[in-house]
Amino acid sequence: MNNKRTAYSSLQEFISRLEREDELLRIKAPVSPILEITEIADRAIKRGGRALLFENVTGYDAPVLINAYGSARRMSLALGVEDTGEIADDIQQLISLSPPQRLREKLSILARLFEFTKFPPKIINPKTPPCQEVVLTKDKIDLDRIPILQCWPMDGGRFITFPAVFTKSLQTGRRNVGMYRMQVYDERTTGMHWHIHKDGASNYHEYKEAGKRMPAAAVIGTDPAVTFAATAPMPQGIDEMLLAGFIRKKNVELVRCKTIDLEVPATAEYVLEGYVDLEETRIEGPFGDHTGYYSEKAPYPVFHLTAVTHRRNPVYFTTIVGKPPMEDCFMVEATSKIFLPLLRTQHPEIVDLDLPQEGTFHNCSIISIKKRYPYQARKLMSALWGTGQMSFSKMLLITDDNLDIRDHNLVMRYLLDNFDPDQDLFQTEGVLDVLDHSADQPLYGSKLGLDLTLRLPGELKQRRKHKQRRVPPINSLVEGIPCITGAYIPFPDTRWKLLVVSIKKERPHQAREVAEAVWKNDRHSGIDIILVLDDCQNLQDNSYVAWKMFNNVNPNKDLMFYRNNRIAIDVTKKCKAEGYDRDWPAEIGMDDKTVAKIDKLWSKLGIE
């Protein structure tokens, strides 16, 4: 087990490391936290740029750090390793322990188990810990003094997006640390946006049943291992601070809060102490979310501040989410790699797992397996749809282990060369992430499994080999269909031909009409699958098309099957006349005024 690990004592120590590694850019130009930082950071992230430290935030003294985790290299630096796979290797060693046969083996196993447990969080009692150098209570509490961002134009307000929220179970006293966005309502109250499946929400219901007020602390700007642990899919009841200590190879030091019975990291930049009122909810949102769409308004619990404590010269640490790629994509990539060994303990056939950024984490998972028996891929699909956070996956694609599932173009080509709609599709229903807007109702809807594994004896049929055919001229396919605004064949040399079209949608079920009109023009039966998108200019961007499809498709309704194994997929915005009774969310995008202002400022920022 690797003991050589960089353990940062604080966020500011990590900032210093980023600067030494030329991974940090200091922005000295005056910039507003209202939309402007978002527009700059979004451009920087999508260019593969460095972490940004805004030192001159209009109206505030504290600087703002963003995009600190926005690359695979910075994610590794954050966790103190050369590659995040090293942490996965440590976990794999722990869960691969065999029953010892000899004394020497017993001592070796004890040493390895001790490696995991010797870094528990440690409560300390210094006179003035860094996170409490300044203590504000009662009328001195004012969230308006912190440079909290409004990220996107249609957001319901300013949101704290990177808080590690500390709570504890009323029944067991066990600590939980999760990451939940917090909308600022006024100088002393915020929303607490925890989803129903989160441990924080579970603790909340314990207090609600007991009729007691729930203490909570939102910690902003911790050392990177603590921030990462707050986002990790830990089993219920396991202390995230134990994971942080295991990653750092060093205990996380905690201090008691000033006004509530909780402990928080001693070196944090800001700590918001308070309580959640169990009888009060308030409308939270909308919010430009990691799906690339605005999540809808909904009632959530309200967090009341009883104190704000912070360092003497704090840094406000934040992130933005939106259309991928974004900073959180690199966090999820590290998470899927680090926790893969734990997933394998339940499903040992899994070789690798990839969560494409276009799937925004819950809409698509690609998994390779070592297949040993018939229908193993379908068994795994059913099992994963009942496993932890994998249960929220809307689409699962299972391949054999000889395919590089991280090469998405390769996966797509393999699919279009080997796919058999009669045999390979598996549809079911189940729980969905609350952010999935394509389903008929929140939290529940249809799911799609795609089995691309080789057939073994005992499976009913071998795949039929699809004949190679020539690609028809695109002009002939779209002739006489005036609503089509663009068309593209992304993989013309594969056996199954895919056509992507965009339309100016004017009426319900128009995607079906367009697909049927294209096939009427397709006299040589050259096109097998048609994706129909709303009018856009990005049809030749495979990543954009995939993002649209994963977000906007309800498999049960939007996959339309025709004779000769033809499939049309409706990726357009749905309406009530199509049986969609919810409000379709707006796509995230910056307003023209902010874009124009940053255009003028861009050359002065020094961003490559």
**Residues recognised as catalytic:** 289
Smallest CA-to-CA distance from 92 within 270, 433, 344 is with 344
Sort strands 498-503 and 529-534 into parallel, antiparallel or unpaired: parallel
State both tokens at 540: 């030749």
* Residue 292: exposure state from Cβ atoms within 10 A (0-12, 13-18, ≥19): buried
Which of 271, 66, 33 has the alpha carbon at shortest distance from 147? 33
Q: Which uninterrupted H or E stretch holds 329?
A: helix 327-338
Please provide residue 223's backbone torsions phi and psi, each rounded to the nearest 5 degrees. -65, 155
> Which residue type does 536 have?
C
d(CA 323, CA 488): 22
Helix (H, G, I), strand (E, B) or coil at 201: helix
- Distances 115 to 1, 108, 373, 514 between C-alpha atoms, Å: 8, 11, 37, 61
| DSSP class per residue in 123-138 | E---SS-GGGSEEEEG
From residue 217, how far is each of 246, 262, 271, 292, 504 by CA, in Å?
23, 7, 7, 29, 48
To the nearest 10 degrees (0 to 180), the angle between helices 240-248 and 224-231 is 140
Q: Say which DSSP state 576 is in.
A: G
Question: Helix 85-95 to helix 327-338 angle, to the nearest 10 degrees?
Answer: 30
Residue 405, helix vs strand vs coil: coil
The Cα–Cα gap between 408 and 322 comes to: 21
